[in-house]
A = this chain, B = another copy of it.
Amino acid sequence: MNYPLDLEKLTSYLQKLPGIGEKSAERYAIAILELSDEEAEGLSDAIKSAKKNLRRCSICGHLTDQEICNICSDESRNKNVICVIEDYKSVFSFEKTGTFNGTYHVLNGLISPMDDIGPEDINLSSLISRVEKLENPELILALKPTVEGEATTLYIKKILENKKVTISRLSYGIPMGAEIDYLDNVTLEKALEDRKKISE
């Protein structure tokens, strides 16, 4: 192709983003050329400053541009309830529901003996010390239902055994709006197992 070099370069960088192939990268590159000078400069600067300024909250491990993230520093949130998640993307998902008023703890990974990832490789020790400083805290484990998720859940349960802490996990079951016919066996089994009584 007879692309000018600068366009070629931009296109190849855009292709590093997930789900962007050659065609879309081209389309976005051309769209960027058609942005106003201010907008293009803004986009360019936003990438640099996001990459430079964003780091992990020293309490919960969530993404922040301060020392402590805006959730941990929010006076109105219940510090005694900690939702334990694999990565910071889940924080955004939970925040969007708008119903959770506790705090989070981002593990930044899951225990995976297969991949040689042990408890010391993820952000777990700071969770333990957080829990130890609280009175009767509640931990909600919101880890994915895979071998790694289960291993991590079990490990956390075990290590906090003798501490005064309530531990729960997200419920398993049928996702809202799903067709029962098309559900996989394991989900259906879990939904049956965890069935909820609705009569008196």
Contacts and interface: CB of A to CB of B under 8 A. Distances in A.
B46 A9 contact: yes
Interface residues of A, number: 52
Interface stretch (A64-72, A112-120, A142-150): A64-72
B48 A40 contact: yes
B10 A70 contact: no
A21 interface: no
A134 interface: no
Contacts of A18: 27-28, 31
A7 B89 CA distance: 12
Nearest to A95: B2
A32 B28 CA distance: 15
A32 to B, nearest CB: 6
A111 B63 CA distance: 51
Contacts of A45: 44
Nearest to A6: B50
Nearest to A64: B4
A155 interface: no
A2 B71 contact: yes
Interface of A: 1-7, 9-10, 13-14, 16-20, 26-33, 35, 37, 39-51, 53-54, 63-65, 69-71, 89, 91-92, 95-96
Given A6-B54, A10-B46, A20-B28, 10 more contacts: A6-B50, A7-B63, A10-B43, A32-B51, A33-B63, A40-B47, A40-B48, A44-B45, A44-B51, A47-B47
